[in-house]
Amino acid sequence: MDFNNTQAIYLQIADYVCDKIQLKIWQEDEKIPSVRELAVMLEVNPNTVMRSYEHLQTQEIIYTKRGMGYFVQANAAKNILKTRRDQFIDEELPLLFKKMQMLGIPGNDLQSRYQEFINKPNN
């Protein structure tokens, strides 16, 4: 996994786990890799993965079964989708709208470009 400098590594790992859940690679109530396994897979310190898992537990995305490991929480994919949608609408859209305003791009131009995008094959 390639990490960027704009976000803490443990949060990037949490996003990686959320991607796996949202893409249905890891299903509800399915065991996910242990802290050590994921640390080896991603070539990071196990403490960093542990911090990611703790973060995901507070977000109710994963849970632990004593002596068995970490599992995907019921409704995790739905919760991830809601969180990501809210974040996009609250944080990313205002930046896009500001840039559109600065460049004089009308809203209907964005709408037509979006329609073109979703009508393309492979989207």
Residue whose token pair is 């993965």:
49
Distance CA 89, CA 94 (A): 7
- Determine the pLDDT at residue 123: 65
- % the chain with pLDDT above 90: 95
* Whether 14 contacts 52, CB under 8 Å: yes
Q: Average pLDDT of the chain?
A: 95
Domains of the chain, earliest start first = 1-123 (1.10.10.10)
62: β partners: 72
pTM: 0.82
Distance CA 82, CA 117 (A): 23
